[in-house]
Chains A and B, each alone.
Chain A
């Protein structure tokens, strides 16, 4: 049971990373790392929406905010391994690459995919976030007191 949930934690991590990768990036990394294996569609790529929810007051009950576009698909490799792809936006090719990576990560190809696709993608994502956070940090206000009246 423990093992299963740690597997899920890892899978959640890579699927989340793939969902947010820039257009075309995961396909490029995948094709550099390996030749694409053959597969059958369980669900051909489809574009749809997800209703995004917020919380009243940030912490209260949920309310519906509006939708976002999502593309998803599911496929089965020759060996029977199933891969799911969920990516933000209208990007069928990205969803297909994401599902292939999800499937390959459950096979013996996992270390290679991890090293050549997921690790570089993680680094790029972190670099983008850090660059933005650093710009925000430069706009942080340092208050200082000019003078203070006596008593």
Chain B
């Protein structure tokens, strides 16, 4: 039996009205402006841009406001908006060696050319609540000292000079695009990296942590972590040359992992790579660890059945919009499905009861 029902328009309309009122909160409290969100909740804005897969701080701020601070809902809004944009083309690959670094640290080399730059980091804070912030005081000015920055070479290039680290091949191959072709297995590394850079931070963090705890041996050092501004270049067909069409803050993490060697490769260090929109340090490190774990096959390592080694598992479940869409749909009306289950359970019970009373009678 199929029962079609209709209704709820008035209830939905009123629910949306109440949502709008609740979003605003107490009207005696000043309304949030997008500029406030963009400037003061920057790391939330960065996460929404990274996982929404669209770099536009103003849009991300709007999405956060509209979503009442629910970042996954905000990411959903950005993903939906993104699909309405005509695509002008593809940028030249970012040259992160030319980044103007806000932060640049290495856990493997103390004295590296360009130095260790801490930047605006939470590291070394005591994680004690600062009640001064509740009092709306003026923020202190940051210290400055004249910078002497030239090019800041990648740390892994030093190891490369000695041949102690694997080379990253450069063949000029055009990468696949997850936003144009559906995900198909096996997924090459370029596709995995695209999926990981927009993957849910919590999921990526959990997987990365699992590799550290021993689910896929993967003892990683942060060879280098850098955060800063890079220029985006694109070839303009009507001009016949490339121009910079903007700049953006990105976080790049390169991990160095010990590798015992395989039949074809000598013992050396291998690399994991993370590159994420915005200042998104936890995500970039986690991405590099998961990238490295997923590379077991091409490096000739053993598959030990760890979740982080299973590309199908990782890539199919890393996207929080897909996940939340499927998860949350089960709260929507399933009256008919449930009705049939109800019928089934009643029938089974009748059968069991009949059998029991038969037994009792005998």
Give, as a whole number of angstroms, the nearest-CB distance from B108 to chain A.
Answer: 14
By size class, the interface of chain A is 35 or more
Asked if B88 and A48 sit within 8 Å, CB to CB, the answer is: yes
- The yes or no answer to A8 lying at the interface (CB within 8 A) is yes
Give the number of chain B interface residues (Cβ < 8 Å): 87
Contact A133 B147 (CB under 8 A): yes
Which residues in B have their C-beta under 8 angstroms from that of A130?
147
Take A64-B178, A74-B238 as given contacts and tell me if A48 and B85 are in contact as well, using a CB distance cutoff of 8 Å.
yes
B53 beta carbon closer than 8 Å to chain A: yes
Q: State whether A49 touches B93 (Cβ < 8 A).
A: no
Cross-interface CB contact of B193 among A20, A47, A63, A134, cutoff 8 Å: A63
**Nearest-Cβ distance from residue B292 to partner chain A, whole angstroms:** 11
User: What are the residues of chain A within 8 A of B157 when measuring CB–CB?
Assistant: 59
| Given A53-B92, A143-B111, A20 and B242 contact (CB-CB distance below 8 Å) | no
Task: Tell me whether B110 and A143 are in contact (CB under 8 A).
Answer: yes
- Please tell me if A12 contacts chain B, counting CB pairs below 8 Å: yes
Which chain A residues border B271 with CB–CB below 8 Å? 57
How long is the Cα–Cα vector from A94 to B49 in the complex, in angstroms? 22
- Determine how close the nearest CB of chain A comes to the CB of B290; give it in whole angstroms: 14
A67 close to B53 (CB less than 8 A): yes
> B236 touching A52 by the CB < 8 A rule?
no
B154 sits at the interface (CB 8 A): yes
Task: Known A16-B244, A134-B144; judge A141-B175 contact (CB<8 A).
Answer: no
B213: interface (CB < 8 Å): no
Is B103 in contact with A66, judged by CB distance below 8 angstroms?
A: no
Q: Roughly how many angstroms separate A68 CA and B234 CA in the complex, as a whole number?
A: 12
Could you say which of B50, B175, B228, B240 contacts A61, with CB atoms under 8 Å apart? Answer: B175
Q: Is residue B4 within 8 Å, beta carbon to beta carbon, of the partner chain?
A: no
**A137 and B193 alpha carbons, distance in the complex (Å):** 31
B163 interfacial by beta-carbon distance below 8 Å? no
Q: Which residues on A sit within 8 Å (CB–CB) of B248?
A: 52, 68
7 A-B pairs with the lowest CB-CB distances in the bound complex, closest first? A88-B246, A60-B168, A16-B244, A57-B168, A134-B144, A137-B147, A63-B190
Which residue numbers of A lie inside 8 Å of B, CB to CB?
Answer: 8, 11-12, 15-16, 19-20, 46-70, 72, 74, 84, 86-90, 129-141, 143
What are some 28 contacts across the A-B interface (CB < 8 A)?
A8-B240, A19-B244, A49-B54, A49-B86, A50-B90, A59-B97, A59-B154, A59-B168, A60-B170, A61-B168, A61-B171, A64-B176, A65-B275, A65-B277, A67-B54, A68-B91, A69-B59, A86-B245, A87-B245, A133-B147, A134-B146, A135-B143, A136-B149, A139-B118, A140-B117, A141-B116, A143-B110, A143-B111
List 14 extra interface pairs beyond A20-B231, A67-B53, CB under 8 A.
A8-B241, A50-B87, A55-B170, A58-B273, A59-B170, A64-B90, A68-B54, A70-B246, A74-B238, A90-B56, A132-B100, A139-B103, A139-B118, A141-B115
